[in-house]
Structure 1
Amino acid sequence: MELAFIPSPAHGVVHLGPIPLRGYAFCIIIGVFVAVWYGNKRWIARGGKAGTVADIGVWAVPFGLIGGRLYHVITDYELYFTDGKDWVDAFKVWQGGLGIWGAIAFGALGAWIGCRRRGIALPAYADAIAPGIAFAQAIGRWGNWFNQELYGGPTTLPWGLKIDAAHRPDNTPDLVTYHPTFLYESLWCIGVALLVIWADRRFKLGHGRAFALYVAAYTVGRAWIEHMRVDYAHRILGMRLNDWTAIVVFVAAVAYLVLSAKLRPGREETVEPVAATAEGPADGAAEEPEQAADQAETDAEPAVDFEKKPEADAAEDVAQKSVQS
């Protein structure tokens, strides 16, 4: 019997009266709020306006959730579309099942739409929200703890995760504690966020390189954590599908880092177009006619009188002399 272990919740849902509060969904929601809040702080620090991150997030978050679910359903279709399974379960997001690869890809598409609507470059926006996404993943992974899913192999370590009999693998029904891969990935994501924050301050990353660093660093951790998991997964050449995905995405992220640094070094000076305030143009437009009228009045009165009076006096003297003669 293990002397120490991490307990699992008996239930993944708590009822507040008639309202069910599901742990998995709660973790995802909290993660989204943290990503938007911290992304907003970084965006303002880069010279952007408050609220822009949330406005674009209105597009990015729904797209990300849809993409994450699609990736999970497509890669694990046998859970929903084989004999004895109910295809309606494919829509039950609260039961778990969001693929980060689909979430990031579709979330980027939604962010691109939001950025275009505001005249903002997507790479600058991605750099601002990159650490926040990593923090959101760290929080979201605890949703797997509530559902007792995505754990690793058996272990007797003091931080082993206790899994109830109903959620244990079929080949180890009598073993109680397993590697808490959700915890490993959560801690890794926190480390990735801190790495991106440090590197961004140290090297002034721009043009999407902070986001690329986040992607590259995350995939490294995801590869070895994925290798520890014991849940069913499609395999290619003996490796889990998500391991192959992590390798491909890692190579793409590193290639972008290198090429971007050569083609577009430095950081953007302006991340968001500065729209004129309502007071600015209105005041200026009101002042210009008044200033022009005052100037015209000033030019007309004194300049004409004082410059032409000596000539008039001279003409009058000539006329008087002519009369006297």
Structure 2
Amino acid sequence: MEHVISFPGLGLTLHLNRVAFSVFGKDIFWYGIIICAGFILAALYVNRRVPDYGLTSDDLFDVLIFAVPVGILCARAYYVIFQWADYKNNPAEIIKIWHGGLAIYGGIIGAVAVVILYGRIKKRSIPAMLDLAAYGLLIGQAVGRWGNFVNAEAHGGETMLPWRMVIDGGAGVHPTFFYESIWNALGFVLLHFHSKKQRFRGEIFLEYVAWYGLGRMVIEGLRTDSLYVPGTPVRVSQVLAGISCIAAVCLIVYNYKKHRVYAVPTEINPVNPDNTEEEDNK
């Protein structure tokens, strides 16, 4: 389970074992540890920001209790649906997520669905909750992609660029896991500082969708392990990324043009939870 990963152009060689340690004969993988680390960092940050959005720590942890398992199930379902040829003759393999096969877009869809449902049931501002989710998703994705690095997966096609990555003595390839990690980390930093000038609830989430979609659309085109629409050369996540990016940009422009919006106050108005004021009818 060890991989030799080198970066010839940088003079760097690493010997990476997927297994961190064993407990009672059960292997604990670095991938899982890294994913957990990303989750914890995301939860800690979001917990500090909940008062800014008129919510509480209880709201956060109530949502996480359901969003995490639902997100994992949806991430697995998304992968299996578009990789059905590998599972149709062996359905028992579907539940074995430890063998790999989780798609981040499926996880995002599942988590967002839980947030919306919770907001409706508990009468919380859904746009505010989605804004907080955006921060957490960016942190989790930025950290989690390093789990792909340890597994020597989620890389791109061959390249001779100075930062090319060589796995087990093969050809140099694009370290697309790194591209996406850096893109998400930069997105988090930008949105963190931009949030001080946020002008309507839901803006941060829409900007996350646009930012992540733009980056994923480009990076997905470099990868060699993409999921495809069955029987076509169409990369599912690339198309979804492009559509979601365009839709988010359109919604941002719409909100900027159709509403006279101001700096968002700390407390959410219970009558107008999205904190927007429509133009006066004169």
Please indicate the TM-score interval, normalised by the length of the shorter structure. 0.7 to 0.9
The amino acid of 1:122's aligned partner reads I
Matched, 1:142 2:146: yes
- SS of match in other structure, 1:20: strand
As a proportion of its length, which structure holds more strand?
Answer: 2
From 121, 126, 135, give the equivalent of 2:125.
121
From 244, 249, 267, give the equivalent of 1:270.
267
How far off is 1:232 after superposition?
A: 5.3
How far off is 1:268 after superposition?
A: 5.9
How far off is 1:42 after superposition?
A: 1.2
1:291-316 Cα distance to aligned partner (Å, 9 max, x none)? xxxxxxxxxxxxxxxxxxxxxxxxxx
Partner of residue 156, structure 2: 152
- SS of match in other structure, 2:16: coil
RMSD: 2.6
Contact 2:226 2:235 in 1 (8 A): no
Aligned partners of 2:127, 2:204: CA distance in 1, in Å?
9
Matched, 1:175 2:179: no
Matched, 1:79 2:74: no
TM-score calculated relative to the size of structure 2: 0.81
Report which stretch shifted further, 215-224 or 58-67: 58-67
Partner of residue 221, structure 1: 215
Distance 1:262 1:62, change over 3 A: farther
Contact 1:212 1:257 in 2 (8 A): yes
- SS of match in other structure, 2:111: helix
How far off is 1:38 after superposition?
A: 1.0
User: Which runs of at least 4 in structure 1 moved beyond 6 Å after TM superposition?
Assistant: none
Distance 1:33 1:232, change over 3 A: closer
Identity %: 30
Partner of residue 257, structure 1: 252
Distance 1:186 1:125, change over 3 A: same
Number of residue pairs the alignment of both structures matches: 260
In terms of Rg, which structure is larger? 1
List alignment gaps of at least 5 residues for structure 2. 1-5, 271-282
How far off is 1:56 after superposition?
A: 1.5
Partner of residue 201, structure 2: 207
Partner of residue 27, structure 1: 34
TM-score calculated relative to the size of structure 1: 0.71
List alignment gaps of at least 5 residues for structure 1. 165-173, 274-325
How far off is 1:97 after superposition?
A: 2.2
- SS of match in other structure, 1:15: strand
Matched, 1:51 2:55: no
How far off is 1:220 after superposition?
A: 0.9
How far off is 1:260 after superposition?
A: 2.8
Partner of residue 167, structure 1: none
